[in-house]
Amino acid sequence: MNVMLIDYGAGNLTSVERALARLGARSQRSHSPECIAGAEALLLPGVGHYAALIRALDERALRAPLLDALQRGIPFLGVCLGLQALYETSEEAPELSGLDLLPGSVRSLPATVKLPHMGWNQLKLSRPSRLLEGVSAEAYFYFAHSFAATNFNSEAVALSNHGADFAAVIEKQNIFAVQFHPEKSGEPGAQLLQNFLRLAA
């Protein structure tokens, strides 16, 4: 299995690469439309500003090949911003269009709690999850974000909470995404990545 990491020019891809390598998977960074079109599995990591990710996808002409690959059933894992990008829009950059694969918008978490939501939090399962198979219900995952999918629908298989419930794990056919960083979430994170690799194989 070779996982194509979509490199849109921001963020720290090294930790994702290392986490995959520990699990025996090969990965490759790419920002070329051709490579994305030919990928066996795709991973869209992301930290920072929503606008930077969406703009980079469009400037590098990656939106069309990415949507096409997802349409063809290529396994996809979005991490953090890579989850948020799946919705129609985000309050962080309302003028931009997301990938629009899921209905709804990404919004700021409420100002009643400290933001960013930074650190280790738990999940509550909405329905059985393929990504979380073998992961303890008590497990903690590492989050670092201020915006989240708070008006989630049935795509959210697990929620977390920081001032409001939000989609923490998304599964819709071949499309998987997590709001936390599995590559920085110790053993449970490694198990989740392992599950993705198995599902993608």
Partner 1 sequence: MSLAHRIIPCLDTDGARVVKGVNFVGLRDAGDPVALAARYNTEGADELVVLDIAASRDRRPTFLETIRRVAAELAIPLTAGGGIRTLDDARSVIRAGADKVTVNTAAVARPALISELSREFGAQAVVLAIDAKRVDDHWDVMVRGGRDSANRDALVWGLQGVELGAGEILLTSVDRDGTQLGFDMPLTSAVSRAVSVPVIASGGAKLPEHFAQIFSEGAADAALAASIFHDHVQSIRKLKQYLSARNIEVRLPC
**What is the Rg, in whole angstroms, of the alpha carbon atoms belonging to the chain?**
15
- Of the pair 60, 162, the CB lying nearest partner 1 is at 162
Catalytic residue among 117, 145, 162, 181: 181
Q: Does 107 bind partner 1 (CB under 8 A)?
A: no
80 is catalytic: yes
Site string for partner 1, 142-161 (x = CB under 8 A): xxxxx-------------xx
| Site map (CB under 8 A) of partner 1, residues 46-85, x = contact | -xxx------------------------------------
**Candidate list 17, 92, 171, 183, residue with the active-site label:** 183
Please indicate whether residue 183 is annotated as part of the active site: yes
Q: Which of 17, 80, 117, 171 is catalytic?
A: 80
How many chain residues touch partner 1 (CB under 8 A)? Answer: 39
**What residues make contact with partner 1 under the rule CB under 8 A?**
10-12, 14-15, 18-19, 47-49, 111, 114-124, 140, 142-146, 160-162, 181, 183-187, 189-190
